[in-house]
Amino acid sequence: MSITDTQEEIVNEFSLLEGDQEMSVLYLMELGQKLPAMKEEDKTEQNEVKGCQSRVWLTAEVKHGAVFFSADSNTAITKGLISLLIRVFSGHTPQEILSGEITFPSRIGMDRFIGTQRSNGFAAMIKQMKMYALAFQTRSQIQA
């Protein structure tokens, strides 16, 4: 499924909540609970996303040319946010991640149920994921 298709799926899921702010937050928290557990040894300062009010840890690895992310957070809402980004970006090539535009937040009205601080943190998460993709792309070009 493409990055665009996954975002369409997310938009459709949130549209079922008909803009209900409380339900949207609860659903976001539920998504975070379903995020696969991150290894405790990966929860290091080096893997912490800078710019987030909450603590967010993010790692990435390449398998068969695709990037796969793992993450965790110390808050339920932020964990839900990073789970959405993992869903959108994991399993795609570095180039797809770098060229992929994140459109779902505005389309689901995310700004209504997360504050400015979390929005800044969300942007920092996207930036970090794209930095991993850029690093993997650069490494593969050097090795080629």
Annotated catalytic sites, by residue? 52
Locate tokens 């290091």: which residue? 44
Neighbours of 38 (CB within 10 A): 18
- What gap in Å lies between CA 53 and CA 85, rounded to an integer? 17
- The rounded radius of gyration (Å) of the Cα atoms in the chain is 15
Which amino acid does the sequence have at 140?
Answer: S
- What gap in Å lies between CA 38 and CA 59, rounded to an integer? 9
- What gap in Å lies between CA 74 and CA 72, rounded to an integer? 7
